[in-house]
């Protein structure tokens, strides 16, 4: 497999019959899925997308425009479509994974066996969040705190926040400036994960992913926006269902829960 700074091997398995690409939430890097990956079947190879400005690419300037992000991600993922694959993204990562699938569909490239979107309203639904990427620092930090994904000890550390604020603002701009452009439903299944107490994505907004595909299923977990960490075991079990059914039958199956 061709090495790329955009892809970090979370679990290598050259003999795997299926590959899982993971896309982190705003401010997150490839390591965001390390713990979850340990609970997934060993029969899948796992690669996590690493955007500029994250972890091992911290010295690089973060990207603020989605076309720039998509160009790098599409090139990297497009080079390793030699076996069936799944895309799994949470929040911002779900949006990037969705747009990547649409890009591959437009280019007649192999599509994922399933697109798994987590903690993200369907993109055609109107946003309920106010744009905040350009707010003054204190207001911006409060908006980040509202997502409950960053420890207070980090948010209150001024020196650390000076380092990470440009990266967080860049990710917030990707959300703020995104404009959904309608197209036909994707010919690959979409599986949507949501949290019961996620204030940013309600169940109607989650279910609206159904409009964007020919095959849809969903699962709701106890927890807030970051239920993938707070309720990791059930999330891993649901992901494992999708992985194992895709390997066994060539299509994802997620039982109603």
pLDDT digits (tens, 9 = 90+) for 80-123: 999 999 999 999 999 999 999 999 999 999 999 999 999 999 99
* CATH code of the domain occupying 7-249: 3.40.50.1820
Q: How confident is the model at residue 253 (pLDDT cuts 50, 70, 90)?
A: low
Nearest partner of 238 among 216, 214, 221, judged by Cα? 221
- Mean pLDDT, rounded, of the chain: 93
Active site residue 91: yes
Instruction: Give residue limits of the domains in the chain.
Output: 7-249
Please name every residue paired with 45 in a beta bridge, in sequence order, or none if there are none. Answer: 19
| Catalytic choice (4, 12, 91, 240) | 91
What's the pTM?
0.94
pLDDT for 86: 97
**Spatial CB neighbours of 104, under 8 Å, sequence gap ≥ 6:** 74, 78, 110, 111
């Amino acid at each position: 497999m061709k090495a790329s700074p955009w892809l970090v091997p979370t679990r290598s398995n050259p003999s795997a019959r299926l590959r899982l690409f993971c896309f982190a939430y705003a401010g997150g890097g490839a390591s965001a899925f390390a713990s979850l990956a340990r609970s997934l079947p060993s029969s899948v190879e796992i690669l996590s997308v690493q955007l500029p400005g994250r972890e091992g690419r911290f010295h690089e300037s973060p990207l603020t425009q989605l076309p720039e992000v998509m160009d790098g991600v599409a090139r990297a993922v497009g080079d390793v479509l030699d076996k069936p694959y799944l895309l799994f993204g949470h929040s911002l990562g779900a949006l990037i994974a969705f747009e990547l699938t649409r890009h591959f569909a437009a280019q007649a490239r192999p599509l994922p066996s399933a697109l798994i979107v987590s903690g993200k309203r369907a993109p055609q639904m109107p946003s309920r969040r106010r744009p905040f990427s350009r707010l003054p620092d204190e207001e911006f930090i409060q908006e980040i705190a509202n997502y409950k994904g960053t420890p207070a000890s980090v948010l209150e550390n001024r020196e650390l926040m000076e380092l990470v604020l440009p990266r967080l603002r860049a990710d917030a701009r990707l959300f703020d400036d995104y404009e959904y452009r309608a197209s036909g439903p994707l010919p690959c299944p979409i599986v949507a994960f949501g949290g019961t107490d996620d204030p940013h994505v309600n169940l109607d907004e989650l279910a609206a992913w159904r409009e964007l595909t020919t095959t849809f299923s969903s699962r709701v977990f106890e927890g807030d926006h970051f239920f993938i960490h707070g309720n990791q075991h059930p999330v891993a079990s649901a992901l494992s269902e999708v992985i194992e059914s895709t390997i066994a039958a060539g299509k994802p199956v997620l039982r109603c829960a």
